[in-house]
């Protein structure tokens, strides 16, 4: 199975509301970043790393640094994302020079920037593009260590700063973590060079500003909003991250907003989770959900998730694909429906995903021969009390629903993606 899981969710509950969004000002400039859809074989080491809390320690001296030149720009931008077999969406960020680009996952489930350092000689680093601060005139040595230990390895890095470029936006003194040692193969098989966190600053190492918070503090946008459109077309470059607003060409119908109930992750409160309109007790008295672009699948508390899988009863030979029920997340009275073609993956004999919705009909999906199997796009993930439990709305959900992240008003908006 091919999947990517975002960082572990440590959450708190609160109140939320939904309402229709007013039209954004026509004069508001929008920046767009194209995203690429990609796939890789996730290993247990990656799952362990991203579901492990990060522990930080200060380093007295680790690198030599040079002065950082102050820079500034303004307004908004869109980044194109590339999609590779429905699994992950990557875009480009420049660091230390506009042409010094890295392929990254823009992740609303984390807050730090991670890139491989040129000083790292481990295979997971050498197998990707590496950042070299000695070649940047705007590099600044800060000297804060990140040491993340997990069940199958250890990742060691150092936080420093440089000028970042995202689409047409130039961000001065952006803190980021250089990976200097990788024990294990946490990133060895990944198709990306790093991760750019877009969660709240309370989650970031040493309280440094995440990328979007530096954009906010440097007043580079008219509106402190970003949004994601995830195309389901394999190999497509139509997916997009937009800074400064949203693009009405990418969704249809009304855009409904829901208030963030904890300013750490993009945490919302759901009224219920229904299967064919029936309440199965998956969301007793309301439950927490997180909009997480760094997670491919839907995750849920293990007991509830296994109950859901038992109810869905997805036949591994795809024989009941046409009869599978509708799964609905209810937020502030708004129903967000996922059909079988949204939450079922077909896996070939090589372990590669075949997207359900690329077939002409359910029958063609069911009747496809070969050594294939159908699996649900779900993963159990238990978040301990008092922060959990919570469900993660990963790309399985976010590819069906256009998502808007509004830091001016601390809310998340969803609309049916085109």
Query: Along the chain (418 residues), what's the average pLDDT of each consecutive run of 10 residues?
Result: 33 32 54 78 48 43 30 41 60 91 93 92 89 95 82 79 94 95 75 91 90 97 96 80 95 97 92 97 94 91 94 89 94 97 81 57 52 84 75 94 98 97
Token look-up 């296994």 returns 306
The number of helix segments (H) and strand segments (E) in the chain equals 7, 29
Query: What per-residue confidence (pLDDT) applies to 11?
Result: 27
Query: What per-residue confidence (pLDDT) applies to 107?
Result: 94
Supply the Cα-derived Rg of the chain in whole angstroms.
21
Are 273 and 284 in contact, with CB atoms under 8 Å apart? no
pTM of the model: 0.83
Query: What per-residue confidence (pLDDT) applies to 200?
Result: 94
Count Cα neighbours of 247 within 13 Å in the Cβ-side half-sphere: 24
Nearest to 314 by CA among 288, 277, 347: 347
Query: What per-residue confidence (pLDDT) applies to 16?
Result: 33
Residue 311: its H or E element: helix 302-312
CB atoms < 10 A from the CB of 155, how many?
25
Query: What per-residue confidence (pLDDT) applies to 172?
Result: 97
Query: What per-residue confidence (pLDDT) applies to 117?
Result: 93
How far, CA to CA in Å, does 353 sit from each of 3, 41, 224, 359?
A: 9, 10, 36, 13
CB atoms < 10 A from the CB of 233, how many?
14
Identify the three-state secondary structure at position 5.
coil
What residues form DSSP beta bridges with 374? 346
Nearest to 5 by CA among 389, 381, 414: 381
How far, CA to CA in Å, does 335 sit from each of 270, 299, 387?
A: 10, 19, 25
How far, CA to CA in Å, does 179 sit from each of 112, 133, 153, 282, 294?
A: 12, 12, 14, 39, 19
Are 77 and 170 in contact, with CB atoms under 8 Å apart? no
Provide the 8-state DSSP code for 45.
H
Active-site amino acid positions:
107, 292
How far, CA to CA in Å, does 257 sit from each of 221, 240, 333, 370, 406?
A: 20, 20, 11, 44, 9
> Which residues 6+ apart lie within 8 Å of 361 measured at CB?
none
One-character DSSP codes across 326-391: PEEEEETTEEEEE-HHHHEEEE-TTS-EEEGGGSSSHHHHHH--SS-EEEESEEE----TTT--EE
Distance (Å, rounded) from C-alpha 160 to C-alpha 156? 13
Please report the sign of the dihedral spanned by the C-alpha atoms of residue 278, residue 280, residue 282, residue 288.
positive
Identify the three-state secondary structure at position 44.
helix
E strands, 1-151, are 18-20, 31-38, 55-58, 78-84, 88-95, 101-107, 113-116, 140-150
Query: Phi/psi of residue 216, each to 5°?
Result: -65, -50
Alpha-helical (H) ranges within 107-208 are 123-126
Query: What tokens appear for 291 in the block?
Result: 């909009």
Query: What per-residue confidence (pLDDT) applies to 37?
Result: 78
CB atoms < 10 A from the CB of 27, how many?
6
Are 225 and 407 in contact, with CB atoms under 8 Å apart? yes
């Amino acid at each position: 199975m091919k999947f990517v899981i975002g960082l572990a969710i440590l959450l708190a509950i609160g109140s939320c509301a939904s309402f229709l969004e007013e039209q954004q000002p026509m004069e508001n400039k929008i920046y767009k970043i194209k995203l690429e859809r990609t796939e890789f074989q996730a290993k247990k080491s990656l799952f362990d790393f991203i579901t492990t809390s990060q522990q930080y320690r200060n380093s007295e001296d680790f690198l030599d640094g040079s002065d950082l030149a102050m820079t500034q720009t303004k307004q908004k931008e869109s980044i194109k994302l590339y999609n590779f077999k429905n699994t992950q969406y990557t875009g480009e960020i420049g660091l230390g020079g506009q042409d010094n680009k890295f392929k990254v996952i823009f992740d609303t489930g984390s807050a730090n920037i991670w890139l491989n350092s040129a000083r790292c000689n481990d295979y997971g680093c050498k197998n990707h593009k590496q950042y070299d601060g000695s070649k940047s005139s705007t590099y600044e040595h800060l000297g804060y260590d990140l040491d993340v230990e997990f069940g199958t390895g250890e990742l060691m890095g150092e936080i420093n700063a440089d000028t970042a470029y995202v689409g047409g936006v130039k961000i001065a003194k952006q803190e980021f973590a250089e990976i200097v040692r990788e024990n294990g193969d946490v990133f060895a098989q990944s198709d990306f060079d790093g991760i750019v966190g877009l969660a709240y600053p309370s989650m970031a190492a040493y309280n440094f500003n995440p990328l979007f918070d530096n954009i906010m503090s440097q007043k580079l946008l008219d509106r402190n909003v970003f949004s994601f459109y995830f195309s389901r077309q394999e190999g497509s470059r139509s997916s997009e991250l937009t800074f400064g607003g949203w693009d009405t060409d990418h969704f249809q119908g009304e855009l409904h907003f829901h208030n963030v109930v904890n300013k750490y992750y993009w945490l919302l409160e759901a009224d219920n989770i229904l299967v064919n309109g029936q309440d199965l007790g998956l969301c007793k008295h309301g439950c927490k959900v997180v909009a997480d672009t760094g997670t491919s699948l839907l995750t849920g508390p293990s007991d509830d998730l296994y109950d859901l899988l038992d109810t869905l009863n997805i036949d591994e030979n795809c024989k009941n694909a046409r009869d599978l029920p509708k799964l609905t997340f209810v937020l502030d009275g708004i129903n967000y429906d996922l059909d079988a073609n949204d939450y079922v993956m077909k896996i070939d004999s090589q372990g590669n995903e075949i997207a359900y919705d690329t077939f002409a009909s359910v029958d063609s999906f069911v009747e496809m021969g070969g050594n294939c199997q159908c699996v649900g796009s779900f993963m159990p993930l238990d978040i301990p009390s008092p922060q959990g439990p919570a469900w993660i709305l990963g790309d399985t959900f976010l590819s069906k629903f256009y998502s808007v992240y509004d830091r001016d008003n601390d809310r998340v908006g969803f609309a049916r993606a085109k």
